[in-house]
Structure formats: C-alpha cells, structure tokens
C-alpha cells in the first residue's frame, strides 16, 4: 500500500459532451424552410469524478446541468462526446446494452413528494429496483438488503418504516427512502438532482450528511446538481460552475468559493444572501437573465452580462485555462492568468 | 428562464390535505365518505341480488298466463298483468336479469377494448397514439341507431349482437378518458424513475400505471354500465333486440305494441321504465362520487375570498 | 398606534371527524409605515396562514379569532364586509408562486389594470398609464405590458406580479416566498427591487419566507414562527448574534454559510401536530437545551430586552445556568 501508485482512473469521465434538443419547426416552418434550430443545452462539457468524490455541478436554470445528468444516465442521447464509467464507454451503447449498466448509476430526484409511487409501501419501493434487475438474491436476502438500506439512511428501526406509505412520511424521510432505494443496487455513482431544495431547512443537513457519509465509506461517488452554492461549498469536494451549456469554472470547492476566477462565479457568489446581517459585502447584481440557449452569444457566452468584458471577449470563446499556481483550478476567461485588479 | 421549480408549501389547503389524505386513495374510503356513493351502491346491489336470485324471488313464471290481459294491480299481483296475462312483478325481476347482464357484458367488452387502447395510446405515444386515436375517431362518428338497425337486419336480432353493438359504441369514450389519464401518470416522477432504472414497459404499466388509473377505470366502468343499460332498453324498445328474451326494454316495447297506454294499463309501461331510470341513477351516483373524489383536488387557490368564520372574543379556550 | 396591528390572532381549520387544526396560535405583530419585517419559519408553522388572515383570504373551513387593524380600523371583525374595501387598496400581497398564477389569456397590462378598475382607483386610459408606470417601477419597459405571461421569463413574471400588487397604491405589502422559485441572481434582483420600492414608496413590508439569509438581506427585524406561534421577535442582528430562542439559533446553524467553517446542523424530529393541544413548550422535543419546566409549562412570548421578545424559559433562568 505504500508503493507509489499512478493516479487511479476516475470513476466517471465525461469528455466534450454535446447535447442538443431540436426545436420543432412545425408545418409552416418546414415549408418555409426555416433553419432547424436547437436548444444548445450542453455545448462541450468535460468533467471527471474520482471514486469516493463528490462533485457539485452548480448553475442557474437553463445552464444545462440537469441535461448533463440526463446525458450521463442516457435518458437523453448526446450529439457527440464520450462518457466513460469505470472504464466502460457508455456512449455508443444501445439502450438494450445499457440495461445492466443502469444498475451502477442511480439518480435521486428533487421532488420527494413525487419520486415515490404513492401506492407502494416503503418495503416495495426499496425492493423494486432489485426485482427489475434481478439482483440481490432470494427473497430473504432481498429483505435483508432492504433493512440494511434503511439503516444506512438512518430510518431506524427499519421495522417502523417498512410498511408505511409515502404519504405517512415527511419530506425528509421520503427523500431518505428514495436514497435507500438507490443503494440496494450497490451503485458506484449517485446523481443527486437538487436533493434537498424542496425540504425544510432544518432537515436538509441530515439528508446531505447521509450522502456525504455514503460516499466516504461506501465506495461510491456523488454528482450533486444544485443551484445552492452554500450547500455545494460545504459538502462537495469539487465545484463546477456552468453557464449556458459550458463549464466556466471548476476546482476544489473551497478554492472556487474563496478565490473565484471567472466573473460569473464572482458575481454569483457575491449575491448569495449572507446569514450575518452585519456582512454588508458588495453585491454584484447582474442585469437581465441568461440568454436563450437556442441562440447563444458570439465569442465568450458571458460577455453581454460581464462587468469586466473586453473587446476580444466578443470574438474569442475561451476554453478552460488553469489558474496560475493552482493546478486543479480552471476557469474559462481570458483574464485568467492575468494579474488580479 | 431564471426559475427553478421549488415549493415549500405552507398553504392551509395543503396542511389540511396532508392530514386528511390518509385513506383518500382507497376506493372503499371514497365510498364510505360519500352518502351519494353509498346510496348508489346499495341500490345497485339490491337490483343485482334480485336479478341473481330471480328464480327464488319471482312469484310467478314470467312466461305463464295467470290471469286476464291487462288485469290491474291487485293483492296477488301488485303490479298487475301484462298483455299476455303474465305477472308484471315476475316480468320485471326476470327482465332485470337480462337487462343487467347485457349492460354489464357490453360494458366489460367496451372496457377491455377501450381501456386497452387507451393505455397503449397514452403510454407509448407517438405513432401508436396517432394511429389508435385515428381509429377511435372513426368509431366515434358511427351513428348508433343505423348501426344497430344494420346489425339486426344483416345478422338477425339477438342478445349477443346487441351486446356487440353497444360495446362498439361505448369503448371510444373510455379510450379517450383512459388515454388522458395514462398520459399524465406517465409523466410523474416515479414513473420516469422506474424507466430510468430500466424497468420494462410491461412492468411499469402493470405496477405503476394501472394501480393509479384503476379507480378511474372503475368509476368509468360504473358510468358506462348506466349508458349500456340505457342503450339496451332503447334498442330493445325499437325492436332491434331479441324479441324472444325478456328485458326491461322488451317489456316496454310490447306494452307499446299492444296498446297498453290507450288501454289505460300504466302498470305495463311505467314500472319497467322506472327500474331502468333507478338503476341508471344509482350508477351515476356511485360513478360520479368516485370520479369527484379522484379529481385532483381542484386547487381553488386561496386568492378567491370565501367566507371564513369569526370566533367571538368571549369563547377563547387556551391561553 | 402602528400602521398594522395584529392582536392575538388565532386560526383554526376544520378537519374531518370534527377535529380542528390550530394553525395560528395567538400571533401579535406591529408594523409601522416604511418598516420591513420578516416572518420566518418552516413549512407548517403558520406564517402563510397568518398573512392570509390579514387579507381575509381564508377558506370557509377556517375560524378566526383576534383582531387585525389597519390604521386603527379592524379588517376582520365582520369578515368579508370588513376586509374587502381594504383588500388591495390598503394592503396587498404577492403570493407564493405568483409568477405561475398569472392569467395566461390576458395581457400583463390588463391584469394590472384589473384591480384598479375593481377598486375604483383608476379607469380607462388613466389606468393604463398608471399600469405603464408601475411596470417601469418594477424594471419592465412599459411597452411590454401588451405581452402575455408566457412570453415573460420567471423573473419578469414575478416583477409583473409585484406591479399588480402595487396597482392600487397599498400601504402594506405582504410577500409570500417571493423568490423561492427563482435563481439566485434573479432573486438578488427581486430583493433589491423590493428594498428600493418599499423605501421609495414608503411601504411597509412583511416578507414571509423560510430562508433566513434572504430576510437578513431585506429586513431590519424579523419574527420567527414555530408551531403556529411567534417564538422570537427581534432585529436580525440580535437574532443572529444573540438569539433568544433555541429554535432561532438552530435554524441559523442549519443554514449553510458560503464561507462558514462550522458543520451544518439538522434539527432532529418534527414539529408537533397542531390538531392536538400542546403541553409544555412546542419545541421541547427537538430542543438541545430543554429542561423540566419545558415539559409542563408553555412559554409565553415576552420582552427579553430592548425591542425584542422571545418565548423560552431559558430567558427566565439566572444567567449562570444558561451557558
């Protein structure tokens, strides 16, 4: 264990992912030969998650973060790019071939009130994934796994919850059941889409801590999609900030939050409301809203709203550049590398 | 743009709904809570039981003359005798049997076809949906009377033909209703989740969609029975049914043919019609009550001011 | 006398089988012109019901006791008759999810003009002109009023909802989770707008939300609600730096801070059921400082300092035993 080992291959590796949704033209449009338009939801996203790591994908609505998750799960098909899970190339596989692999990537949804079938008792909800995948052994073994999953999400004693219906549980408990239902398949990657945004504040930390513990002890990684920078800063190892289909900044969570390099990240961080009323730091409120992903701006996608845009930003579309002195911190801005003002 | 879907609902309706939702989803609970539904169910059960135990309950043989033509009601024959001297009560009891059987049978066929098409259409969408709905549209526009006449004329009048015709006319409405419901259930997060887990379509339909639309299917079935019975009565009355069988429709038909009204023999006409009307009412009560309970509680948002009550200051309890 | 006075407000909701849900349990509030206060709490605490009571927008299953006075006149005493003249003219509301509740078949302008016509504030072209002014006030070009809601983004729709609430020139504005469904940048824009507007128009604002930092940004004072009652009321500064109720303290601790190092807490357990009488302190099962008295005696909201009140027995204990 003491021998120098080369960097382990990341669990998930996404390269240059492009996913677009065609906008329907309708009969008139087709007849008039209107150009085919598409929503450029994801335009060249690359990211990687190591085993046991939590990456937070942060951004406002329309930035493409949910589409990235859906592409990884192959719920939508990317136009180009590659997705490798544990060395296996997922892109290019048919839906049929993907079936066995689906077991290893599980998703937790935002709405705890909708993600469980109201007619399934907790035990069935957690057992079902095993039945679908013919996984988990015989009946007794499956029951054991269900109880174990409930324990791992801290719904103890399991017997108290097994026969309940979702409407008898609180939001936080439902979300835990959803997590338990994902755990029974021993996934290697958990994609959590806004896992706590619909829960009460006092309950959020509990659910997040469970996710955190699971990935630390369970040989599992977590891709957390969220708009909440504070949550990302506290629980994730790394943060990737998305804007209009691209990652504009990524790096270790604490570093991105304390030393943001991209103007968008800086503005975003500045407007997060602070708990301490005495903290009256300047808010950089950007005007307007992110433009329509159907027609992204030329050059740097952020330049129309950027407070420090230069002339060249209108023409150059910067790639992610490494921040000098911080090898795992990158930002897509021409100013990166330039001395701080 | 600029929005997430985030709600931490605190509205009074939601608080109440949460606490009251315990048995809302269960059919029995719904029926228990509605007086209307209970009434409808009881009435229906009475008629069904009478029909089942017809041989035991009917005082006389419905094909045997027991007195003069159009004898008025008396102690031995509370509803008098018909044009053939047959006891009306017995006629009604046996007639109910057939009417109900035809009604239920036609409904079952319509449900299977309509439900099946509705589910396939709603779940798979796309091409399947378009094709199936096109077919449904064709059937929707078929006029009922001419169809019944043609079938009776070409294949001869019989009960099974009648069932066939009625079913043909009824399945389309069911198909549309079920399709709409299936479409919306399909978009629920837990169904999407099951699909992303890799569940087969069959599994999803059987375990997630059907249970969700089940109650609606039942409500629709009950309401369809009402229409089927009405259709049977009407078509038999017009002579398109089986003249040799005894149904409420044929009872009315014969009474008209044999000039019951001008003879003043109201007992030969009205009771049968009443039976039909009552059964249809009962079906409506039951079916509507279930449907109403299942409709997503129309969130009449609290923006519309409705009168709340003030409690006078003198009657404060705690604090 | 304050602009808005709420005295001992109680609200019960009817439940099946003759039970009642005691959603609001004796709330008292004072609001002066130009003041911005927050009403903070988690789901089920009664904050939305409280402000709905102020507007008289409760369903028939509700029973109300207590008084709500606007400029000295009661607005609930005679139910609908008392409330209606004031609704929207003196006190109005931006509802939770208002951006999704706009009428899709009417233009934005028409929807702003509607309350004006209904309340006789303005008519015809004067109303349209004022609608244009209101739109400009909330950051939308007046010409955009001719568009329909679906042509607006979420943030713009929320601004439109704000313009509608201001249509009749109210003195008090109630905002129920105005930014909950919005992205953080749009949220910042709306909060900035709210602060500016209330300042420029001299409005009094009650901001209802579960999000403490949002309140910290906009309001000077806040009341924290739990289980239907106000458990603490103080300046935001006091609430954060020296909370007088464990729930306040724990709520802050459960809210992650961008740069904070401390672990984020969760509060175990759940709020008590409001369809039963509560014995003792409603928070005692989840409180980390509960002691014997908390089990038997329900704390009363009382003054614990300069312009602050809290409902906690710990404030009665001599200082030594509290640390």
Spatial separation of the C-alpha atoms in residues A55 and B21, rounded to whole Å? 38
Q: Running DSSP on this structure, what letter comes out for residue A305?
A: G
Determine the structural domain holding residue B151 and report its residue range. 32-296
- Tokens at B105, concatenated: 């049978």
Instruction: Work out the average pLDDT over A71-96.
Output: 89
Residue B22 has pLDDT above 80, yes or no: no
Residue B291, in any domain of the structure: yes
How would residue B7 be classed by pLDDT, with cut points 50, 70 and 90?
very low
Residue C263, in any domain of the structure: no
Residues of C within 8 A of B13 (CB-CB) are 59
Spatial separation of the C-alpha atoms in residues C250 and C40, rounded to whole Å? 13
Provide the residue count of chain C: 323
**Tokens 């980390």, residue located:** C288
Determine the structural domain holding residue A267 and report its residue range. 12-104+187-331
Number of domains in chain A: 1
Partner residue opposite B203 with nearest CB, options A75, A132, A168: A132
Question: What sign does the dihedral A177-A183-A185-A191 (CA atoms) show?
Answer: positive
Q: Running DSSP on this structure, what letter comes out for residue A281?
A: P
Residue C316 has pLDDT above 80, yes or no: yes
Inter-chain touch C43–B9, beta carbons under 8 Å: yes
Inter-chain touch C183–A61, beta carbons under 8 Å: yes
Residue B312, in any domain of the structure: no
Instruction: Work out the average pLDDT over B184-203.
Output: 88
Averaged pLDDT of chain B: 81
Residue A122, in any domain of the structure: no
Contact (Cβ atoms closer than 8 angstroms) between residue B186 and residue B209: yes
Report pLDDT digits (tens) over A33-63: 777 788 889 999 999 999 999 999 999 988 9
Residue B308, in any domain of the structure: no
**Tokens 């420090």, residue located:** A308
Contact (Cβ atoms closer than 8 angstroms) between residue B256 and residue B83: no
Residue A161, in any domain of the structure: no
Inter-chain touch C183–A206, beta carbons under 8 Å: no
Task: Choose from B21, B29, B197, B211 for mutation: most chain A CBs within 10 A.
Answer: B197
Q: Given the DSSP bridges, would you call strands A189-193 and A105-108 parallel, antiparallel or unpaired?
A: parallel
Number of domains in chain C: 1
Residue C135, in any domain of the structure: no
Residue C18, in any domain of the structure: yes
**Tokens 């992204």, residue located:** A296
Residue B36, in any domain of the structure: yes
Number of domains in chain B: 1
> What is the CATH number for B271?
1.10.3720.10
Residue A281, in any domain of the structure: yes
Contact (Cβ atoms closer than 8 angstroms) between residue A261 and residue A338: no
Contact (Cβ atoms closer than 8 angstroms) between residue B302 and residue C57: yes
Partner residue opposite A109 with nearest CB, options B6, B193, B198: B193
CA B123 from centroid of its chain's CA atoms: 24
- Tokens at B32, concatenated: 């228990």
Determine the structural domain holding residue C216 and report its residue range. 4-87+171-235
The helix/strand count (H/E) of chain A reads as 11, 12
ipTM of predicted assembly, 2 dp:
0.88
Contact (Cβ atoms closer than 8 angstroms) between residue C251 and residue C226: no
**Tokens 């996984």, residue located:** A135
Helix (H) or strand (E) holding C172: strand C172-176
Spatial separation of the C-alpha atoms in residues C293 and C309, rounded to whole Å? 19
Q: Closest Cα to residue B213, out of B125, B286, B137, B111? A: B111
Residues of B within 8 A of C26 (CB-CB) are 319
Residues of B within 8 A of C52 (CB-CB) are 11-12, 302
Report pLDDT digits (tens) over C65-93: 998 998 888 887 666 666 777 788 889 99
> What is the CATH number for C8?
3.40.50.300
A2 or B247: which leads in pLDDT = B247
> What is the CATH number for A220?
3.40.50.300
Residues of A within 8 A of C192 (CB-CB) are 283, 285
Count other Cβ atoms within 10 Å, centred on residue A299: 18
Residue-level pLDDT at B306: 52
Bridge partner residues of C87 (DSSP): C91
- Tokens at B251, concatenated: 């009872």
Partner residue opposite C192 with nearest CB, options A227, A285, A289: A285
Tell me the count of A-C CB pairs closer than 8 A: 114
Residue A2, in any domain of the structure: no
Spatial separation of the C-alpha atoms in residues A266 and A335, rounded to whole Å? 13
Residues of A within 8 A of C188 (CB-CB) are 271, 273, 283, 285
* Alpha-carbon torsion angle C280, C281, C285, C291, nearest 10: -80
Spatial separation of the C-alpha atoms in residues C227 and C231, rounded to whole Å? 9
Residue B304 has pLDDT above 80, yes or no: no
């Amino acid at each position: 264990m003491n021998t120098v080992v080369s960097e382990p291959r990341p669990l998930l590796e996404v390269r240059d992912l492009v996913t677009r949704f065609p906008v329907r033209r309708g009969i008139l449009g087709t007849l008039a030969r209107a150009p085919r338009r598409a929503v450029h939801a994801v335009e060249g996203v690359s990211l990687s998650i190591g085993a046991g790591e939590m990456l937070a994908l942060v951004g406002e609505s329309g930035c493409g973060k949910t589409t990235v998750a859906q592409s990884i799960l192959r719920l939508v098909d990317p136009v180009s790019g590659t997705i490798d899970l544990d060395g296996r190339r997922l892109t290019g596989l048919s839906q049929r071939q993907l079936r066995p692999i689906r077991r290893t990537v599980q998703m937790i949804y935002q709405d705890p009130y909708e993600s469980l079938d109201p007619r399934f008792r907790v035990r069935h909800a957690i057992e079902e994934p095993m039945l679908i995948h013919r996984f988990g052994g015989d009946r007794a073994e499956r029951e054991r796994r269900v109880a174990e999953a409930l324990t791992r999400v801290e719904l103890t004693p399991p017997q108290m919850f097994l026969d309940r219906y979702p409407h008898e549980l609180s939001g936080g408990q439902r979300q835990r059941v959803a997590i338990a239902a994902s755990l029974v398949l021993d996934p290697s990657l958990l994609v959590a889409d806004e896992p706590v945004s619909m829960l009460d504040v006092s309950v959020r930390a509990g659910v997040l801590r469970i996710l955190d513990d699971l990935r630390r002890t369970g040989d599992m990684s977590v891709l957390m999609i969220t708009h909440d920078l504070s949550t990302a800063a506290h629980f994730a190892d790394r943060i990737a900030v998305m804007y209009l289909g691209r990652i504009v900044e990524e790096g270790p969570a604490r570093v991105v939050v304390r030393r943001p390099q991209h103007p968008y990240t800086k503005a975003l961080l500045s407007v997060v409301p602070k708990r301490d009323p005495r903290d009256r730091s300047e808010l950089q409120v950007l005007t307007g809203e992110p433009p329509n992903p159907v027609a992204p701006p030329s050059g740097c996608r952020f330049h129309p709203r950027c407070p420090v845009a230069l002339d060249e930003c209108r023409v150059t579309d910067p790639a992610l550049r490494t921040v000098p002195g911080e090898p795992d911190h990158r930002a897509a801005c021409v100013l990166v590398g330039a001395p701080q003002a | 743009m600029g929005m997430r879907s985030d709600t931490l609902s605190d509205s009074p309706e939601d608080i109440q709904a949460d606490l009251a939702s315990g048995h809302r989803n269960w059919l029995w609970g719904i029926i228990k809570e509605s007086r209307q539904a209970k009434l409808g169910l009881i009435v229906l059960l009475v008629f069904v039981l009478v029909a089942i135990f017809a041989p035991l309950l009917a005082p006389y043989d419905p094909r045997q003359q027991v007195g003069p033509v159009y004898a008025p009601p008396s102690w031995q024959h509370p509803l008098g005798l018909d044009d053939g001297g047959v006891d009306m009560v017995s006629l009604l009891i046996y007639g109910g049997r057939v009417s109900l059987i035809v009604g239920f049978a036609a409904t079952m066929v319509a449900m299977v076809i309509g439900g099946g098409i509705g589910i396939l259409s709603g779940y798979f969408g796309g091409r399947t949906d378009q094709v199936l709905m096109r077919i449904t549209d064709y059937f929707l526009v078929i006029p009922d009377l001419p169809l019944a006449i043609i079938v009776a004329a070409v294949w001869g009048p019989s009960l099974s033909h009648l069932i066939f015709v009625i079913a043909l006319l009824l399945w389309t409405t069911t198909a549309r209703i079920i399709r709409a419901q299936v479409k919306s259930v399909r978009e629920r997060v837990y169904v999407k989740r099951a699909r992303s887990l890799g569940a087969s379509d069959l599994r999803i339909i059987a375990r997630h969609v059907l249970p969700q639309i089940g109650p609606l299917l039942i409500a629709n079935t009950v309401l369809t029975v009402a229409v089927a019975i009405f259709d049977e009565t009407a078509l038999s009355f017009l002579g398109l049914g089986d003249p040799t069988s005894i149904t409420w429709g044929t009872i009315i038909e014969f009474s008209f043919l044999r000039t019951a009204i001008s003879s003043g023999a109201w007992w030969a006409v009205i009771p049968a019609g009443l039976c039909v009307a009552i059964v249809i009412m009962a079906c409506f009560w039951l079916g509507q009550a279930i449907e109403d309970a299942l409709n997503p509680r129309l969130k009449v948002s609290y923006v519309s001011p409705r009168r709340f009550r003030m409690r006078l200051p003198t009657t404060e309890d705690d604090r | 006398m304050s602009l808005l006075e709420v005295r001992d407000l109680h609200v019960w909701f009817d439940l099946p089988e003759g039970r009642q849900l005691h959603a609001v349990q004796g709330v008292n509030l004072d609001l002066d012109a130009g003041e911005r206060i927050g009403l903070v709490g988690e789901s089920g605490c009664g904050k939305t019901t409280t402000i709905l009571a102020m507007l008289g927008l409760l369903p028939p299953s509700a029973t109300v006791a207590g008084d709500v006075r606007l400029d000295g006149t009661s607005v609930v005493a005679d139910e609908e008759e008392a409330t209606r003249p004031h609704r929207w003219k003196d006190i109005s509301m931006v509802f939770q999810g208002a951006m999704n509740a706009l009428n899709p078949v009417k233009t934005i302008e028409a929807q702003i003009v509607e309350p004006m016509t209904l309340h006789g504030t303005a008519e015809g072209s004067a109303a349209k002109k004022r609608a244009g002014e209101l739109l400009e006030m909330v950051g939308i070009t007046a010409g955009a009023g001719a568009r329909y809601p679906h042509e607006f983004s979420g943030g713009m729709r929320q601004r439109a909802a704000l313009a509608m609430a201001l249509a009749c020139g109210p003195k008090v504005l109630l905002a129920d989770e105005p930014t909950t469904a919005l992205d953080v940048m749009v949220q910042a824009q709306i909060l900035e707008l709210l602060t500016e507007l209330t300042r420029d128009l001299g409005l009094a604002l009650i901001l209802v939300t579960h999000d403490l930092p949002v309140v910290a940004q906009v309001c000077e004072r806040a009341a924290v609600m739990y289980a239907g009652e106000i458990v603490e009321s103080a300046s935001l500064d006091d609430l954060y730096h020296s909370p007088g109720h464990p729930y306040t303290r724990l709520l802050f601790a459960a809210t992650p801070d961008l740069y904070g190092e401390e672990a984020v807490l969760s509060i175990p357990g759940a709020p008590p059921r409001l369809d039963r009488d509560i014995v003792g302190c409603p928070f005692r099962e989840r409180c980390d400082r509960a002691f014997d008295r908390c089990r038997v005696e329900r704390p009363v909201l009382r003054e614990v300092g300069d312009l602050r009140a809290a409902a906690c027995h710990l404030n009665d204990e001599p200082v030594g035993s509290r640390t």
